[in-house]
């Protein structure tokens, strides 16, 4: 009898280069049947993980872990389930191979959760960088008992870049989820997928913040606003795709001047208390300033120290997204109207964080300018808040299939 293609692939696999942080290679040989999305068992398992993380005193040192634990609560996940049509017959696709980014430690866990909620088995590759958040979450994965049905759907792996694991896991998966830069996506895509398998890719993106100074000038709790902005930017060294790099101010000149001074002073004070600044970042910011100055006229705004670097531009070039730097480097632009930024908003633009605008005004901005980019528009402080809709894609839909019964 002729062996199936999948059986041949499994026979020639060598998993010796893979470090199994959770689970083992049996997940790659499983004849797992997909589950329905938002199954009761998965929701209960997530709630158990949430409780365990919230009760661990170590979690309080990692706000991103606490936020993840809050996301996994039964009440929250049940509310997410209500967004999907219960009359649609939907099932998971099978094995999902996730490649997590190296710049956002907890991202691997969110990707895993989406895969589980969509009804799949999941192999998640985490970065070779050592993150305490990863170790903390994996520790509690091991401690969850009485959920073997869910636990058997999970493997957390780590392996070097020269390993052939990407090729092997790609050959087995029904969906490949790639979080990372454009280069990572191009490299991983060199590994073939099964004929019916699909890729879900999250490429390099650029994000901005828009602040209505006419409203901010009335703000009495500026420290709280600055802390929310800090979480959007400094919390992940401004490396997350959702972290704003361009700050757009609208409003009267007087209100813009007053608001900018109060806002940036507050941001600096928060960063001074919370941010672990490294000397190399000063060099990076200086280099970024010179590089940007060669490409466009700009003004370097006075700052107390290298914790914060602000440069102002009078015009917005269409390639502004390539001029960025991590660790507190911001380009500022003063606009008469929000619509002025529309011409530069390409498909590279992901998130718009806003302060002082109504949802109706923002909706009008999107519709009237027929924007090519911006998949997320969220209040200041919520750019890192994970959603089942990301980069304009409904992740449950992408990781599951509809059975059309007529």
Choose one of 152, 171, 204: the last residue of a domain.
204
The verdict on residue 390 lying in a domain is no
- Regarding whether 214 and 115 lie in a shared domain, the answer is no
CB neighbourhood size of 385 (10 A): 15
Nearest-angstrom CA–CA distance, 66 and 106: 10
Is 395 a member of any domain? no
| Burial degree of 204 (CB within 10 A; 0-12, 13-18, 19+) | middle
Both 107 and 211 in one domain: the answer is no
If asked whether residues 100 and 237 sit together in one domain, one would say: no
Q: Rounded CA gap, 243 and 207, in Å? A: 6
Domain-terminating residue out of 166, 181, 204: 204
Is position 233 within any domain? Answer: yes
Q: Domain for residue 337, yes or no?
A: yes
Q: How far apart are CA 6 and CA 12, in angstroms?
A: 10
CA 9 – CA 172 distance, rounded (Å): 8
Task: Examine the domain organization and report whether 338 and 295 are in the same domain.
Answer: yes
Residue indicated by tokens 């302060």: 355
pLDDT given for residue 13 in this prediction: 65
In a domain, 397, yes or no: no
Query: Is 277 a domain residue?
Result: yes
Residues 272 and 173 in one domain: no
> Looking at the structure, do residues 259 and 199 belong to the same domain, yes or no?
no
Contact predicate 245/204, CB 8 Å: no
298 touches 290 (CB < 8 A): no
Regarding whether 317 and 356 lie in a shared domain, the answer is yes
Output the domain CATH number for residue 30: 3.40.605.10
Count of Cβ atoms closer than 10 Å to residue 391 Cβ: 16
Please indicate, yes or no, whether residues 150 and 175 belong to a single structural domain of this protein. yes
Q: Are residues 219 and 345 in the same domain?
A: yes
Cα–Cα dist 122/23, whole Å: 10
143 shares its domain with 261: no
Please identify which residue in the block is written with the tokens 């170590």: 58
Same domain for 183 and 327?
A: no
The answer to whether position 398 is within a domain reads: no
Identify whether 394 is part of a domain.
no
- Residue 254: per-residue pLDDT: 97
Which of 155, 171, 204 is at the close of a domain? 204
CB-count burial class (<10 Å; 0-12, 13-18, 19+) for 293? middle
Q: Which domain holds residue 146?
A: 5-204
Number of domains in the chain: 2
CA distances, 299 to each of 208, 275, 331, 376 (Å): 19, 25, 10, 29
CATH value at residue 230: 3.40.309.10
pTM: 0.90
Tens of each residue's pLDDT in the chain, 406 residues: 344 455 444 445 677 889 999 999 999 888 888 999 999 999 999 999 999 999 999 999 998 999 999 999 999 999 999 999 888 899 999 999 999 998 889 999 999 999 999 999 999 999 999 999 999 999 999 999 889 999 999 999 999 988 899 999 999 999 999 998 888 999 999 999 999 999 999 999 999 999 999 999 999 999 999 999 999 999 889 989 999 999 999 999 999 999 999 999 999 999 999 998 888 999 999 999 999 999 999 999 988 899 999 999 999 999 999 999 999 999 999 999 999 999 999 999 999 999 999 999 999 999 999 999 999 999 999 999 999 999 999 999 999 999 999 8
How far is 342 from 248, CA to CA, in rounded Å?
Answer: 12
DSSP for 299-335 reads EEPP-SSTT-EEEE-SS--TTGGG---TTTEEEEEEE
308 and 340 inside one domain = yes
pLDDT for res 2: 43
């Amino acid at each position: 009898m002729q062996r199936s293609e999948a059986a041949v692939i499994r026979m020639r696999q060598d998993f010796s280069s893979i470090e199994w942080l959770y689970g083992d290679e049996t997940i790659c040989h499983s004849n797992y049947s997909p589950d329905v999305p938002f199954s009761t068992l998965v929701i209960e398992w997530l709630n158990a993980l949430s409780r365990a993380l919230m009760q661990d005193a170590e979690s309080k040192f990692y706000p991103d872990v606490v936020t993840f634990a809050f996301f996994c609560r039964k009440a929250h996940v049940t509310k997410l389930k209500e967004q999907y049509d219960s009359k649609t017959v939907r099932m998971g696709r099978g094995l999902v191979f996730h490649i997590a980014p190296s710049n956002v430690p907890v991202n691997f866990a969110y990707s895993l959760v989406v895969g589980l909620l969509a009804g799949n088995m999941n192999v998640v590759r985490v970065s070779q960088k050592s993150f305490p958040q990863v170790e903390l979450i994996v520790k509690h994965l091991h401690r969850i008992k009485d959920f073997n049905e869910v636990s058997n759907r999970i493997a957390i792996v780590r392996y070097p870049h020269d390993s052939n694991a990407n090729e092997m896991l790609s050959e087995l998966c029904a969906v490949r989820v790639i979080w990372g830069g454009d280069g990572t996506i191009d490299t991983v895509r060199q590994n073939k997928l099964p004929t019916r398998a699909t890729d879900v890719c999250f490429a390099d993106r650029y994000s901005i913040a828009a602040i209505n100074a006419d409203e901010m000038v009335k703000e009495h709790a500026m420290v709280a606003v600055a802390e929310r902005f800090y979480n959007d930017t400094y919390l992940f060294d401004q490396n997350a795709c959702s972290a704003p790099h361009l700050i757009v101010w609208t409003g009267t000149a007087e209100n813009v001047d007053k608001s900018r001074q109060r806002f940036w002073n507050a941001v600096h004070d928060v960063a001074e208390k919370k941010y672990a600044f490294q000397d190399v970042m000063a060099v990076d910011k200086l280099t970024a300033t010179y590089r940007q100055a060669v490409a466009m006229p700009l003004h370097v705004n006075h700052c107390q120290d290298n914790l914060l670097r602000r440069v102002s531009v009078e015009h917005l070039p269409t390639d502004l997204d390539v001029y960025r730097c991590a660790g507190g480097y911001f380009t500022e632009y003063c606009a008469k109207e929000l619509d002025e930024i529309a011409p530069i908003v390409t498909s590279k633009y992901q998130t718009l964080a806003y302060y002082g605008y109504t949802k109706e005004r923002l909706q009008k901005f999107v519709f009237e300018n027929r924007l090519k980019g911006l998949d997320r528009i969220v209040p200041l402080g919520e750019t890192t808040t994970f959603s089942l809709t990301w980069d304009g894609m409904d992740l449950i839909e992408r990781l599951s299939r509809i059975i059309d019964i007529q």
